[in-house]
Amino acid sequence: MTFYSYGYLTHQNSNHTLFQLAVISIIILVIAFVSWLWYRHKTDLKYRDLFIIMVLLLFLSVGIQFNEWQSLQSSFSQKSQVTQIMQRVADEKGVARQKVWSNTSTISNGMLIKVNGRIYNVTVNPDGNSYTLTKATPINGHLTYVREDK
């Protein structure tokens, strides 16, 4: 069973998005260069075709980036709810947030929170505004911890 630290859930970033934005920027620069070549050589149709291909590639890249942005927003919202529960549990138990662990990054009934060696089952009410903690004991004793990489 894998547990994630509070720091890992709050500071997890996506380098993949940065890479996609860099690719889009490069495509825009190539489009600018190809359009300049097309303007200079109006009779040579290969530059026009290359321009059209690059514009279509740009639209495809922007569409993929937008789709990924929507999924990242959903994931961020889920992580935010989990970290809010972790903050409240840390305050209730009187421990630092760094000593609270969650077995999932998405909020759901049955998620586990580990505080000071004790594991609690979290039951979230259907309205999503409250939760209940009950003591739990894992069947598998092997626990893996994922911490924030600095």
Question: What is the per-residue pLDDT across 2-17, written as a single tens digit (0 to 9) for each?
Answer: 888 888 877 765 566 7
8 A C-beta contact, residue 8 and residue 144: no
Phi/psi at 104 (5° precision): -150, 155
pLDDT, tens digit, 9 for 90 and up, residues 35-56: 998 888 888 888 889 989 989 9
8 A C-beta contact, residue 113 and residue 20: no
Kindly give the pairing relationship between strand 2-5 and strand 118-124. unpaired
| pLDDT at 119 exceeding the cut of 60 | yes
pTM given for the model: 0.61
* Mean per-residue pLDDT, 115-120: 88
CA distance 147 to 12: 10
How high is the pLDDT of residue 14? Answer: 59
Number of domains in the chain: 1
Spatial neighbors of 87 by CB under 8 A, at least 6 apart, are: 6, 97
125: which DSSP letter? -
How high is the pLDDT of residue 15? Answer: 65
8 A C-beta contact, residue 101 and residue 5: yes
117: which DSSP letter? T
8 A C-beta contact, residue 137 and residue 150: no
pLDDT, tens digit, 9 for 90 and up, residues 41-97: 888 888 889 989 989 999 998 888 888 878 877 777 777 788 888 888 899 889 988
How high is the pLDDT of residue 131? Answer: 85
Range of the domain at 37: 2-146
